[in-house]
């Protein structure tokens, strides 16, 4: 615990989402006063409601986690919704925070903001050097507009807004709904259900050749707290492990941890998404001392144990 957090009134959007449920207990344990409205209580698409909520909380720090998220399927089906809601939630929140004199705002971006063929590892300076992968471009571009807004507001108004680019998150409490889940919870659910049904084979979207970088959710929460306390710069900062794994290898690892022996087959009729994802994480370590410490296999084991303990699994 440091002397920083007991002086902070922290307003967290998306506090009841996957990442928020891991972050808010850490904030409270560090001594911060936390305001954490859930979605029915606060619709960030409503600018008046957003202003009223921030006026009531009078925060010194806003942490913006709220987002409309989903896997490749959801992004393909609702690209307009993903663009509009992610852009408008952030744009309105940042403007309200500025006009109310909030001292600092931390905004979570997305690895989907990077160009489709950015050289790996992705360095923050590459974020504008190409168009994002098509299946999630509306989401990635909407979130990237918030980086533009924060940098413009810093230049014109002196507003202290910082922007983090996290790798794909995973961990206990993730969304396992097959219609909206990301790759790890989707695979965990598929392999558990196939094992329980007598070791049936599992179909996996795409070719399995694409690679991804995965960050354990508790490590991400730690990074947010370090950045909020120690970083005040305009440049975006990657948050990750600096490791990548092909989807085919990820599937084999999850199958082994679950105890599924029924085999898999990849369906190339579905898109792979971005060919590769691996972040250059040196800036985070240099600027605020963050380095991920949970291995992928350790995080997967915890996630699988959590999911298998659910009453419905």
CATH number at 31 reads 3.40.50.720
Handedness of CA 299, 179, 134, 68 (dihedral sign): negative
Q: Is residue 50 part of a domain?
A: yes
CA atoms within 13 A on the CB side of 238: 29
Q: Is residue 204 part of a domain?
A: no
Q: Is residue 261 part of a domain?
A: no
What's the pLDDT tens digit per position in 13-47? Answer: 999 999 999 999 999 999 999 999 988 889 999 99
Distance in angstroms (rounded) separating the CA atoms of residues 45 and 39: 10
Q: Is residue 78 part of a domain?
A: yes
Q: Is residue 194 part of a domain?
A: no
Domains held by the chain: number: 1
The answer to whether the CB of 231 falls within 8 A of the CB of 288 is yes
Handedness of CA 250, 251, 255, 261 (dihedral sign): negative
Distance in angstroms (rounded) separating the CA atoms of residues 91 and 258: 42
Q: Which residues contact 103 (CB under 8 A, 6 or more apart)?
A: 60, 61, 160
Cα torsion 96, 97, 98, 102 to 10°: value is 150
Q: By residue range, what is the domain housing residue 231?
A: 5-174+213-244+275-294
Q: Is residue 60 part of a domain?
A: yes
Distance in angstroms (rounded) separating the CA atoms of residues 78 and 81: 5
Q: Is residue 97 part of a domain?
A: yes
Q: Is residue 300 part of a domain?
A: no
What residues act catalytically? 139
Walk along the chain (313 residues) and give the pLDDT tens digit of each residue: 689 999 999 999 999 999 999 999 999 999 999 999 988 889 999 999 999 999 999 999 999 999 987 777 777 888 999 999 999 999 999 999 999 999 999 999 999 999 999 999 999 999 999 999 988 899 999 999 999 999 999 999 999 999 999 999 999 999 998 877 889 999 999 999 999 999 999 999 899 999 999 999 999 999 999 999 999 999 999 999 999 999 999 999 999 999 999 999 999 998 888 889 999 999 999 999 999 999 999 999 999 999 999 987 6
Cα 168 to chain centroid distance, Å, stands at 6
pTM: 0.94
């Amino acid at each position: 615990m440091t002397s920083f957090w007991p002086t902070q009134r922290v307003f967290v959007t998306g506090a009841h989402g996957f990442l928020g449920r891991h972050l808010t207990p850490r904030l409270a344990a560090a001594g911060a006063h936390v305001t954490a409205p859930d979605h029915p209580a606060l619709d960030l698409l409503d600018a008046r409601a957003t202003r009223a909520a921030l006026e009531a909380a009078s925060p010194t720090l806003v942490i913006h986690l709220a987002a409309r998220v989903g896997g490749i399927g959801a992004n393909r089906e609702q690209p307009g919704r993903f663009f509009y809601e992610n852009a408008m939630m952030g744009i309105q929140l940042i403007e309200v925070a500025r006009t109310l004199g909030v001292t600092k705002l931390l905004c979570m971006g997305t690895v989907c903001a990077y160009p489709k063929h950015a050289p790996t590892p992705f360095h923050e300076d590459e974020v504008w050097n190409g168009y994002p992968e098509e299946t999630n471009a509306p989401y990635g571009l909407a979130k990237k507009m918030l980086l533009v807004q924060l940098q413009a507001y810093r230049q014109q108004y002196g507003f202290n807004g910082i922007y983090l680019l996290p790798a794909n998150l995973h961990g206990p409490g993730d969304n396992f709904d097959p219609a909206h889940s990301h790759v790890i919870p989707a695979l965990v659910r598929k392999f558990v259900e196939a094992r329980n049904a007598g070791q049936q084979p599992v179909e996996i979207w795409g070719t399995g050749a694409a690679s991804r970088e995965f960050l354990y959710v508790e490590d991400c929460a730690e990074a947010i707290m370090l950045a909020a306390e120690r970083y005040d710069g305009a440049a975006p900062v990657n948050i990750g492990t600096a490791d990548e794994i092909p989807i085919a290898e990820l599937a084999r690892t999850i199958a082994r941890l679950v105890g599924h022996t029924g085999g898999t087959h990849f369906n190339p009729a579905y898109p792979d998404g971005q060919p590769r994802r691996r972040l250059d994480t040196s800036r985070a370590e240099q600027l605020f001392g963050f380095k991920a410490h949970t291995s992928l296999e350790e995080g997967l084991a915890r996630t699988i144990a959590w999911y298998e303990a659910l009453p419905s699994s």
